[in-house]
Amino acid sequence: MFRYLLLVLVFVTVKIQSQNQYKSAEGHYSLSGFEIASGIYLIKNKQFFYYATFGAVDLKVYGSYKINNNGDLTLYPDKELLKEFYIYGSKDVAPDNTIKISYYKPYDRKAEKISIISDKETLPFPEFTSNKREVSLTFKRPVSNEIKISIDTSKSTNSFLLPKNVNELKILHNYYAQMTKKMAKSAFKVKEDYLIDDKLKKHKRKDINSKTIEKVLSFIGKKQQNRSFVKRGKTFEIIDN
């Protein structure tokens, strides 16, 4: 009985210490440097929001984080932010055996050359032109319902299954995916009132009030719920890939 009570006491003590660790880490840490405006918000509910602005880049990353007993901080970005492509589909109640996929060129970035693989057939998208920012392919619905997107430069592929009645797709390339993955590997340590980076530079914690916390969590919530858009009267919903 004594051993059981001792184990319960140890468990409760560790849990309280962990909760206090996240509570004391909550705040805003400025990470700004030369020509870079950046920072990170740590919320005691174990959510984070990171931002960085430099040149034409406006990176925003959110997700969860963990602090171990040594104060090491590990960031886990939302899985949607790690995807190379966002794929949206529109449903049509009328049966149709053809699929149309459109690929959009970003305004301020070079477009990746990609191809569609359907039933083992590789279909490259047409080239973009100065006055053509959208290219498309039309082909028969694959028997397997599986479509692969091949990135010509990296030789990598992303695959997804076509939902029922979806016959029109829009592909948007997530140009921040690689930046997000790199950011997630950043090494930080939480010590007292500071966030210490991998260069041992200390970043002072700044208290944040409930209104700021509400704004940060509201922004994250809206981004996570933003899974559709309307174009030319059609609703396109995101397809998991």
User: For 75-90, what is each residue's pLDDT tens digit?
Assistant: 999 999 999 889 999 9
pLDDT at position 120 is 87
Positions in the chain short of pLDDT 50: 2, 4-18
Mean pLDDT of the residues in the chain = 86
The pLDDT score that the predictor gives to residue 170 is: 93
Identity at 99, one-letter amino acid code:
I
Would you state the pLDDT for residue 213?
96
Enumerate the domain spans of the chain: 2-78+177-208, 84-173+227-239
CA 168 to each of CA 19, 61, 100, 125, 162: distance values in angstroms, whole numbers, following the listed order:
48, 29, 5, 15, 10
Nearest to 217 by CA among 25, 41, 32, 67: 41
pTM for the complete prediction? 0.82
CATH of domain 84-173+227-239: 2.60.40
- The pLDDT assigned to 133 comes to 83
CATH 3.30.43.10 fits 2-78+177-208, yes or no: no
Query: What pLDDT shows up at residue 155?
Result: 67
Using one digit for the tens of pLDDT, what is the confidence trace for 10-55?
Answer: 333 344 444 588 999 999 999 988 788 999 999 999 999 999 998 8
pLDDT given at position 36: 87
